[in-house]
Amino acid sequence: MLPEIQDASCAELERWCVDAGEPRYRAEQILAWVHRKRAPSFATMSSLPRTLRERLGSAFRLERFEPAVVAEAADGTRKLLFQLPSVDAKRPAAIESVLIPQVDRPTGARDRLTLCISTQAGCGMGCGFCATATMGLVRNLSPAEIVGQVAAGEALAAPRPLTNVVLMGMGEPLANYDAVRTALEILSAEWGYAISPRRITVSTVGLAPMIPRFIAETRVNLAVSLHATTDAQRNRLVPVNRRYPLATLLAACQAVPLPRRKRITFEYVLLKDENDTDEDARRLVRLLHGLRAKVNLIPFNPFPGAAFAPSPRARVLHFQAILREHHLNVTIRESRGQDIQAACGQLAVARPAA
Ligand code: SAH
């Protein structure tokens, strides 16, 4: 099978052009047809010489994909299910994206339309409070499959433009780093989707050694899934903590110069009687002391078979109040799309019965 052109970075396509005896500047023209104009085929790229179009057609494929199912929640959140090609029929590579409208009353001036996309089918990180973990890792997504979710999300949202893209769906983005980096280049480039990096956020479980590289090579926002304030507690909730414990993770966050990025977001899912006490809140304050941090508290979204319960609302607010008293910048991520299992940590595509 020919390589998919939507998997190529600009540098890779420039090399192909040079090798093919074409001027280097053609690469951006080709990419603008592929990504910005969403041309359906090489033949329709009318500003390119015919010989180049033919060459492209014999060197690459160009395939678009569409969601197999779109479900809509009572709150207007929509979940897109994609069936991607899989190597193993018993483990289909199904993924989901979520389109989340947020209305800002009364002016509407800050209305948002956020698309949450997946970077892997399933996930291998094994966090006990996340439904995606129950699938295990099926496979990494390619750059084409990551940006293809944005193409489909934009089409569904039209005529409204997306305001934000978050890589917080299925999978661990930094465990599929090369594909994610190419996808981020395509999403933010002028020849691509032209989404400002300030409006893109990548969330990681905390693969500490990848963080400096991520900061150096991309310009998008970083969110880190902290969820616990002691190693014993985090080992239980986020097993990767055994490899990269809190001190290692926070040192990696501490060490990064944050040029354009104002702060790192630390995500903290609130689980009843597990990590939601006043003591947890005070430890969180101490842990983040001296970091350019903001905290995003996530009320736990239950799923069938989950061994945790959500903290009562009063607890969530009290936890937030303690952080605020200590001058931490803290927000609560309101749960969206729960009735169609589209909220954080609810994405999972069942395997067909054997
Ligand atoms: N692998 C990445 C992206 C995961 S999803 C990461 O770990 O950051 C984005 C956020 O949702 C993460 O902070 C994740 O821990 C959180 N999450 C997972 N399951 C959840 C659940 N059931 N309820 C609320 N948040 C959950």
Ligand 1 mean position to 167 CA, how many Å?
11
Could you confirm whether 344 is annotated as catalytic? Answer: yes
Q: How far apart are CA 247 and CA 53, in angstroms?
A: 53
Beta bridge partners of 202: 167, 222
Q: Is the CB of 22 under 6 A from ligand 1?
A: no
DSSP 8-class letter at 225: E
Specify burial of residue 353 (Cβ count, 10 A radius: 0-12, 13-18, 19+): exposed
Q: Is the CB of 298 under 6 A from ligand 1?
A: yes
Q: How far apart are CA 307 and CA 324, in angstroms?
A: 29
The DSSP bridge pattern shows strands 293-299 and 264-270 to be: parallel
Q: For residue 241, what pLDDT is reported?
A: 98
* Residue 250 CB neighbour total at 10 angstroms: 21
Q: Does position 254 have pLDDT exceeding 70, yes or no?
A: yes
C-alpha dihedral, 201 to 216 to 175 to 266, nearest 10°: -40
pTM comes to: 0.96
Of the candidates 34, 58, 60, the one whose C-alpha atom is nearest the C-alpha of residue 47 is 34
How confident is the model over 33-86, as pLDDT tens digits? 999 999 999 999 999 999 999 999 999 999 999 999 999 999 999 999 999 988
Specify burial of residue 104 (Cβ count, 10 A radius: 0-12, 13-18, 19+): exposed
Could you confirm whether 96 is annotated as catalytic? Answer: yes
CA angle at residue 173 from 169 to 175, to 5 degrees? 135
Q: Is the CB of 222 under 6 A from ligand 1?
A: no
CB 96 within 8 A of CB 347: yes
Q: For residue 19, what pLDDT is reported?
A: 97
Ligand 1 mean position to 300 CA, how many Å?
9
Arithmetic mean of pLDDT, 111-128: 97
CA angle at residue 234 from 168 to 334, to 5 degrees? 40
Q: Is the CB of 129 under 6 A from ligand 1?
A: yes
CB 208 within 8 A of CB 190: no
CB 221 within 8 A of CB 261: yes
Element containing residue 164 per DSSP (H, E): strand 164-167
Which range among 52-61, 200-209, 223-232, 341-350 shows the weakest confidence by mean pLDDT? 341-350
pLDDT-based confidence at residue 127 (cuts at 50, 70, 90)? very high
pLDDT-based confidence at residue 261 (cuts at 50, 70, 90)? low
Share of the chain above pLDDT 90, in %: 90
Specify burial of residue 100 (Cβ count, 10 A radius: 0-12, 13-18, 19+): buried
Q: Does position 108 have pLDDT exceeding 60, yes or no?
A: yes
Arithmetic mean of pLDDT, 287-295: 94
Catalytic residue among 14, 22, 96, 274: 96
Of the candidates 319, 317, 329, the one whose C-alpha atom is nearest the C-alpha of residue 288 is 329
Q: Does position 260 have pLDDT exceeding 60, yes or no?
A: no
Q: For residue 105, what pLDDT is reported?
A: 74
Q: For residue 251, what pLDDT is reported?
A: 96
Q: Is the CB of 204 under 6 A from ligand 1?
A: yes
User: Bigger pLDDT: 103 or 208?
Assistant: 208
CB 255 within 8 A of CB 214: no
Ligand 1 mean position to 20 CA, how many Å?
44
Q: Which of 141, 200, 298 to mutate to test the pocket of ligand 1 (most atoms within 8 A of CB)?
A: 298
Q: Which atom of ligand 1 is nearest to the CA of 267?
A: 13
Q: Is the CB of 341 under 6 A from ligand 1?
A: no
The protein residue with its alpha carbon nearest to ligand 1, atom 20, reads 345
CB 112 within 8 A of CB 220: no
Arithmetic mean of pLDDT, 210-224: 94
pLDDT-based confidence at residue 354 (cuts at 50, 70, 90)? very low
**CB neighbours of 317 closer than 8 A, spacing ≥ 6?**
none
CB 280 within 8 A of CB 297: no
Q: Does position 352 have pLDDT exceeding 60, yes or no?
A: no
CA angle at residue 192 from 187 to 198, to 5 degrees? 40
The protein residue with its alpha carbon nearest to ligand 1, atom 4, reads 168
Q: Is the CB of 14 under 6 A from ligand 1?
A: no
